[in-house]
Amino acid sequence: MLLTSPPILQFKSLSLSTPFLHGAAAPLFKPSTSSAAAAAPPSSVSLPVIRAMRTLQGRVVCSTNDKTVAVEVVRLAPHPKYKRRVRKKKKYQAHDPLNQFKVGDFVQLEKGRPISKNKTFLAVPAPARNRNKSKEEVAAAAAAAEGELGIPLESEV
């Protein structure tokens, strides 16, 4: 394969403009002006926003700092070798502007702008979780149900 001109001259014909050269802000890519591209207007269709890792739920483990709570988030992940699901814990620092959360509260963390070096989450009250009712609550619910129906229990007859 013979080259008729030196390789440098072949690249001289290419003109790449960058904002870093000559202090000018020129586009790096110039789209071709074809009739199909010129006829189609720019589409205003917006793609859905991917909101991965935007909200987490956890338990407050420390609330001694002012306007900051430490929240422990527990997730299940497969063990690399045994493939059994194991609990993985991670602590996040979250912003609590009203100092309303105490140790043991369940909170939901919403990702936002960085507030400090370690705080990028905002703590908000979590929706009520399903939990087992205590014996007192079960007895109170049974008494309320009996009073509503007006039917005596078999043990009372």
Give yes or no for a contact between 104 and 126, defined as CB atoms under 8 angstroms apart: no
Rounded Cα–Cα distance for residues 70 and 93 (Å): 5
Rounded Cα–Cα distance for residues 66 and 83 (Å): 41
Residue 135 inside a domain? The answer is no
pTM attached to this predicted model: 0.53
How many domains are contained in the chain? Answer: 1
Residue 95 inside a domain? The answer is yes
For residue 91, pLDDT over 60 is answered with yes
Give yes or no for a contact between 121 and 111, defined as CB atoms under 8 angstroms apart: yes
Residue 106 inside a domain? The answer is yes
Residue 8 inside a domain? The answer is no
Residue 118 inside a domain? The answer is yes
CATH code of the domain in which 104 resides:
2.40.50.140
C-alpha closest to that of 129 among 96, 112, 104: 104
Structural domain of residue 97, as residue ranges? 59-125
Residue 40 inside a domain? The answer is no
22-76 residue pLDDT tens: 555 555 555 555 555 455 555 667 777 666 668 999 999 999 999 999 999 999 9
**What is the overall mean pLDDT for the chain?**
77
119-144 residue pLDDT tens: 999 999 998 777 676 777 777 777 66
Give yes or no for a contact between 73 and 89, defined as CB atoms under 8 angstroms apart: yes
Residue 13 inside a domain? The answer is no
Q: Round the CA-based radius of gyration of the chain to a whole number and report it.
A: 32
The pLDDT value given to residue 141:
72
